[in-house]
Amino acid sequence: MTMSTEKKKPVASAAKAGAKETASAPPATRPPGDESPTHLGVRARTPGFRRAGRAWSDTETVVPIDAFSADEIEALASESELSVTFIVERAGG
């Protein structure tokens, strides 16, 4: 099965609203409309950084979104040491 990643959007948490933004922390965004993310792309600033029970690499790791709880997704998205991308995979793409 080939994964199509037609839409990729960088995200950060709304919890950072009062925090000083940096170049490595893009504003929070999700795919528009009814498109629900199917995967998360996660990359660590520092290889081996741990969050949500995993050690993350400095290259993007794509994981099905169902592998995480809502709390884990929020923890990943709000972590300044990680770059998180919501990915929408379209069937038949």
Query: Which phi and psi (to 5°) does residue 7 adopt?
Result: -125, 125
User: Distance between CA atoms of 27 and 9, rounded to whole angstroms?
Assistant: 10
**How distant is the alpha carbon of residue 55 from its chain centre?**
14
Report the pLDDT value the prediction gives residue 35, as an integer from 0 to 100. Answer: 80
Q: Which residue has the higher pLDDT, 61 or 10?
A: 61
Mean pLDDT of 79-88: 96
The 8-class DSSP code of residue 26 comes to: P
Question: Do 63 and 42 contact (CB within 8 A), yes or no?
Answer: yes
pLDDT in tens, 27-39: 444 555 668 999 9
Assess contact for 26 and 12: CB atoms under 8 A. Answer: yes
Residue 19: band (very low, low, confident or very high) from pLDDT cuts 50, 70, 90? very low
pTM here is 0.64
- Break the chain into its structural domains and give their ranges: 7-88
5 versus 74: the higher-pLDDT residue is 74
